[in-house]
Amino acid sequence: MSYLTISSVDEKKKPFNTVINPSNMLITLTPALDLKTKHNEVALFSLFTYNTVRNIKTNNPFSVALDYTLEYTVNGVNHTVLVPDGLYGIGDVYALLQTSLALNGGYDAATNTYGITFVTNANTNKVDIVIDNTVNGSIFTFIMRDGTSNFFGFPIGAVVASGTSTMEPNVNAGINCWQVRCDLAQNSISNGETADILFSFLPTPSNAGPSQTISVEPLHLAYTQVDRSLIHNFRIQLTDQSGNILDLEGSEITYVISIRKMGHNSH
């Protein structure tokens, strides 16, 4: 059994890898790894990186750009808040709105109440919006654009009364899972088709919030057959469920992969 450690930090130090995308690495082994036969299998043993994939991104090459501008009115006067590209939870975006409300008559300091409030509902996995027209005696409206509609889970258009989102909030930017792909692997199956996937997972706020570390150690190693007996080089990638390379904004990635002879049952 062999364990290979692949680190984007180490790869960047190699003279022929002066430019490298940590999510899409071509690894060259010197000398080549001779497995003697093709009767070998490979699995992901561990993965370490950071949750730095932006869920709000105005220029996403893999999808139509959405408008995440926060738009609201106070007594008919329109106000907007631009949300910079980044990785946000519901509370993070709401904090930007609170700052703007406080500057534009949407906050009552005496009661510490905002005219518009977003609250996540852990029981329903939905988002509640509270429109409170008692704040400073003003009338509040929040306008859902296509991006904020998708993010909070409300239909596009004006929200004039308190209510609950009709859809689950989409805070993962359409990314349903992260996949570790390696072209050494064969016979892996994804959506009924042969693929090169070693492992799939999804960071969540409970195990990896924005910019927090992601440490994956599969409880049971899922081995798949290796496609060659002599390994000069191989590619390892971190993608979404559709095979699109994840942009970690340059964050380091370290993989450890396990290679063993087929029929070897111990780890």
**Nearest one of 158, 171, 176 to 71, comparing CA atoms:** 158
Q: Which residue is associated with the tokens 């009338």?
A: 139
- Average pLDDT of 98-126? 95
Supply the pLDDT for residue 18: 44
Q: Which residue is associated with the tokens 């994939």?
A: 53
Domains of the chain: 2-53+175-261 (2.60.120.1100), 70-164 (no CATH)
Q: Taking a C-beta distance cutoff of 8 angstroms, is the pair 49, 58 a contact?
A: no
- Average pLDDT of 197-223? 82
Residue type, 148: T
Q: pLDDT-based confidence at 206, cuts 50/70/90?
A: low
Q: How far is CA 154 from CA 26, 54, 143, 145, 264, in A?
A: 42, 21, 10, 10, 52
Supply the pLDDT for residue 249: 85
Average pLDDT, the chain: 88
Supply the pLDDT for residue 207: 59
* pLDDT for residue 189 is more than 90: no
Q: Distance (Å, rounded) from C-alpha 250 to C-alpha 52?
A: 9
pLDDT digits (tens, 9 = 90+) for 130-140: 999 999 999 99
pLDDT digits (tens, 9 = 90+) for 19-46: 468 899 999 888 999 999 889 999 999 9
* Strand pairing report for 178-182 and 197-201: antiparallel
Q: Give the CA count within 13 Å in the CB-facing half-sphere of 15.
A: 0
Q: For the chain, give the DSSP string.
A: -EEEEEEHHHHHHSGGGSS-BTTEEEEEEEEEEE-SSS-EEEEEEEEEEE----SB-S--TTS------EEEEETTEEEEE---SB---HHHHHHHHHHHHHHTT-EETTTTEESEEEEEETTTTEEEEEE-TTGGG--EEEEE-HHHHHHHT--SEEE-S-EE-SS----STT---EEEEETTB-SEEETTEEE-EEEEE---TTT--TT-EEEE--SS---EEBS-SEEEEEEEEEE-TTSPBP--TT---EEEEEEEETT----
* pLDDT for residue 174 is more than 90: no
* pLDDT for residue 14 is more than 70: no
